[in-house]
A and B are shown apart, each in its own frame.
Chain A
Amino acid sequence: MVPVSWYLVLSAVLFALGAAGFLFKRNIITIFMSIELMLNAVNLSFVAFAYYWRHIGGHIFVFFVIVVAAAEAAVGLAIIITVFRNRETLNADDLEEMKF
């Protein structure tokens, strides 16, 4: 049997990759995908724990996260499309009018 630590390490690596992309990428779509990656990294550890502890709570959480992620994707993509239509750019550094 694959020990649970392997799943956790994989989850941590995926999360770190997602966080790095979230911080360093300029393209909004890439940032968005990085967020999805982080969410799914967390999902992975939820499932792993659920399997390890024989407990259904982890599965339920995962479903919630998937639902929220789907909703977020719909709203987020809609915003991104609107931004692109107005600005002809997806570079996050060009979008900084909203400030003090």
Chain B
Amino acid sequence: MTESLHLWLIPVFPLAGFLINGLAGRRLSQRAVSAVALAGVVASFLWTLRVFAAARGVTEPHIERYFTWIQSGPLQVDCAFYLDRLTLVMLLVVTGVGAIIHFYAVGYMEQEGGYYRFFAFLNLFMFFMLVLVLASSFLLMFVGWEGVGLSSYLLIGFWFRRRSATDAGNKAFLVNRIGDFGFSLGMFLMFLTFRSLDFKIVFARAGEAAPATITAVALLLFMGAAGKSAQAPLYVWLPDAMEGPTPVSALIHAATMVTAGVYMVARAAPIFSLSPLAMDITAGVGLLTAFFAATVGLLQTDIKKVLAYSTVSQLGFMFLALGAGGFSAGIFHLMTHAFFKALLFLGAGSVIHALAGEQDMRRMGGLFKQIPLTGAAFCIGALAISGVPPLAGFFSKDEILIHAWQRWPALYALGVLTAMLTAFYIFRAVFLTFFGPSRLSAEAERHLHESPAIMAVPLAVLAALSVAGGWGASIFEHWLEPVFAGAARELSISGAGALEAISVAAGLTGIGLAYWIYLARPALSATLASRAGGLYSLVRNSYHLDAIYGAVLVRPIVAISTEFLWKVMDAGLIDGAVNLVGRQSISAGEAFRRMQSGNLRSYAGWVVLGAVLVVAAMGVLVGGM
């Protein structure tokens, strides 16, 4: 492809929206602010469609260079965009789901203060996410990577008067730093090895490097991915990130930003595929995260927390797919997950909106009759994530499990168990929220209302995508083949039908168990909880991971920082040195000012003395030469 596609337009539209709303939004009416924000994402989506129409047949990456960004010795980084079929998928998901969620947010945020600020940040997020997706080198990708981290921080702490929200924002930022540290080290090592950070050059030379180096690069990159995509042990920030407004949770912390790590690993497939160890670690971490996050999700009472742990778990599935060599399966699940998880979050948002901010499922119940549209949308999302055919989640999750089976049957077994847990926790949420007796507070009962059209239509669109999004599975995988040529592991399985039947059975079992425990025998859950005792509280508190981090990492660091770095090093040594210089200057000045006696002849004496000293010094110096 030779003609230019003007890819730069895609991120520039939301950037323009951010600048207009960010600089002038305070003086614009709410209607104008939403018009600007929506125009930014919709224009971006339309341009993406045009690019897709023109470039859906690309086999070789289409690269557009704009200018040289950094030129320093052997390091050259261009500001250039890279388009292949993987980029196209991501672009469509990000701009498409992004646009839908923007529409929803217009309704959801109507009553909130800081309306223009919210949409400015949301557009800023879109800009950085699109830069991340389109980047043609690891460094430019890192720019988008850090940018989405920043927007995520800003939006988690959007309600900045609430202490828990700002704390959650800080936590997300700091935990991500650990992952980004790995990403940066990976880039340094990559530059040392390949003398370039450009995708094309690095991938072309990847085969020449020593296996140990490649493994190190891949593992460091995976560390970055684990931070951004909330994998164990760095997932702790994502559940807290639910402090942000629900559209943010849907867009950033479910559908797009958290999948950046998956995208990055898929993009770096030529590197990962050269290192069996890195692939195994990716798969293992993914599967363990999927399993443990699913168990924690079983016992959450906050509807958004259930979805947060579910997101962590589903991201784990994606890494499992990537690690097992099923790159297109991972990306496929990324796409379907974006649909159904955005749907679930927006559905949860509608519930919260309808109940005037109530998030605790113990004070919900029986809502299906009152808000049937939201209920139906949420149920479709739940069926999709549970892997019930023929919804989207069935196809993508099945694909992943087959890859796991081929790689290592034990992975498969744990994967199926996790799939069952997934179905269980999501239907627990469905039954507690929409069915059974109503446990609403009086205030919520009064407030109860179905969402306006601007929120309902996005739900309907996402519900349609969650149903139909998986139907072209084999076409999709075939279409992505050129991207992962040489990296992907081919599927050669017999008995795929049996495997499919097993995973569907697992999903249905989960749903059935949830029905039995939460609808048929409502008293049973309390009995089970008291029976399980310690295990129950262990799982419910996310294996006390936050407490462990607090005791092992946070508290010692804070203690060392205050007691040693602050009180000894900073106050004692650094300030002390500065103050000492100051005090010495003052006392030296005290001594010297005695010379300023006012007596003319004593000045004359000093002048002569000085002249004599200068002459003497010159005599010594010149005489010495």
Interface flag for A31 (CB, 8 Å) = yes
Q: Are B608 and A96 in contact (CB under 8 A)?
A: no
Q: Are B605 and A99 in contact (CB under 8 A)?
A: no
- How many residues of A are in contact with the other chain, CB < 8 A? 15
Q: Are A92 and B598 in contact (CB under 8 A)?
A: no
- Among A23, A97, A99, A100, the residue within 8 A (CB) of B604 is A23
**Which label, helix, strand, loop or mixed, suits the secondary structure of the B interface?**
helix
**Which residues of B are found within 8 Å of A22, using beta-carbon distances?**
604, 608
**Which residues of B are found within 8 Å of A2, using beta-carbon distances?**
none
**Which residues of B are found within 8 Å of A93, using beta-carbon distances?**
599-601
Q: Are A99 and B598 in contact (CB under 8 A)?
A: yes
Interface residues of B in 594-625 (CB under 8 A from A): 594, 596-601, 604-605, 608
Number of interchain pairs (Cβ within 8 Å): 35
Q: Are A96 and B600 in contact (CB under 8 A)?
A: yes
Q: Are A100 and B593 in contact (CB under 8 A)?
A: yes
Interface residues of B in 22-41 (CB under 8 A from A): none
Q: Are A23 and B601 in contact (CB under 8 A)?
A: yes
Known: A26-B601, A92-B601, A93-B601. A19 touches B596 (CB 8 A): no
Bound together, the chains give a CA A31 to CA B599 distance in angstroms of 13
**Which residues of A are found within 8 Å of B596, using beta-carbon distances?**
98-100
The chain B residue with its CB closest to the CB of A23 is B604
Q: Mark B577-599, 1 if CB is under 8 A from A, else 0.
A: 00000000000000001101111
Q: Are A98 and B601 in contact (CB under 8 A)?
A: no
Bound together, the chains give a CA A100 to CA B599 distance in angstroms of 11
Interface residues of A in 20-57 (CB under 8 A from B): 22-24, 26, 28, 31
The chain A residue with its CB closest to the CB of B597 is A99
**Which residues of B are found within 8 Å of A31, using beta-carbon distances?**
600, 604
Q: Are A95 and B605 in contact (CB under 8 A)?
A: no
**Which residues of A are found within 8 Å of B599, using beta-carbon distances?**
92-93, 96, 99
Q: Are B605 and A97 in contact (CB under 8 A)?
A: no
The chain B residue with its CB closest to the CB of A92 is B600
CB distance from B503 to the nearest CB of A (A): 92
Q: Are B604 and A98 in contact (CB under 8 A)?
A: no
**Which residues of A are found within 8 Å of B598, using beta-carbon distances?**
95-99
The chain B residue with its CB closest to the CB of A35 is B604
**Which residues of A are found within 8 Å of B604, using beta-carbon distances?**
22-23, 31
Bound together, the chains give a CA A97 to CA B600 distance in angstroms of 10
**Which residues of A are found within 8 Å of B594, using beta-carbon distances?**
100
Q: Are A95 and B600 in contact (CB under 8 A)?
A: yes
Extra contacts besides A24-B601, A26-B601, A100-B593 (20): CB < 8 Å = A22-B604, A22-B608, A23-B604, A23-B608, A28-B600, A92-B599, A92-B600, A92-B601, A93-B599, A95-B598, A95-B600, A96-B597, A96-B598, A96-B599, A96-B600, A97-B598, A99-B597, A99-B598, A99-B599, A100-B596
A-B contact pairs, 20 of them (CB 8 A): A22-B604, A22-B608, A23-B605, A23-B608, A24-B601, A31-B604, A92-B599, A92-B601, A93-B599, A95-B600, A96-B598, A96-B599, A96-B600, A97-B598, A98-B596, A99-B596, A100-B593, A100-B594, A100-B596, A100-B597
Residues of B within 8 A of A (CB): 593-594, 596-601, 604-605, 608
Residues of A within 8 A of B (CB): 19, 22-24, 26, 28, 31, 92-93, 95-100
